[in-house]
Amino acid sequence: MNNDKITTGGCMCGSVRYEAKGETFGVNHCHCGSCRRHTGAAVVTLVGFMADQVRFSGDTRQIYASSPGVGRAFCGKCGTPLTWEGVSSTRGGPIFEIHISTFDNPDILVPNGHSFDSERVPWFDVADNLPRFSEFNGDGIPLRHGPVSNGLPSNEDPGS
């Protein structure tokens, strides 16, 4: 692990900034209903770090307690969703999953799987060959690798 690597980012208006030191433990597409509601998007991509790898600066991020033990941080000025924050029993402590769209250079962060594919919006699928899990990325056996179909929109009427 490269502990000298520093990845930076922040909110849209620049009031909240962060830097993450060292390697991520994963880059994950999340399809859960809570992440979708938090961002207003059909899928979100999160980059995971142990909490002690991340330092915030500028304005204090606002945190909404979305469920017991889970906080979702955002900028109090511009509203940019920043993180999913909680404790990981498999990782041995608190983690921050940072929204990839807030990184200064998101191109260097390559996804390695999908979480909560069972909650995926049925008309949306990502055309990659990454493993899809029914819960967290890497937990258990993948449901499948790759999209349900060829990743292209169907000509079928979704109401039929």
- Domain of 98, CATH number, reads 3.90.1590.10
User: Taking the model in full, what pTM does it have?
Assistant: 0.85
How many domains does the chain fold into?
1
d(C-alpha 66, C-alpha 104), whole Å: 26
76 part of a folded domain: yes
- End-to-end CA separation in angstroms for the chain: 51
Q: What is the identity of the amino acid at 53?
A: Q
158 part of a folded domain: no
Distance of CA 78 to the CA centre of its chain: 19
Host domain of residue 14: 6-145
153 part of a folded domain: no
d(C-alpha 27, C-alpha 97), whole Å: 9
38-85: per-residue pLDDT in tens? Answer: 999 999 999 999 999 999 999 999 999 998 999 999 999 999 999 999
In the predicted model, residues of the chain with pLDDT beneath 50 are 1, 151-160
Give residue 139's pLDDT.
Answer: 67
Distance of CA 107 to the CA centre of its chain: 15
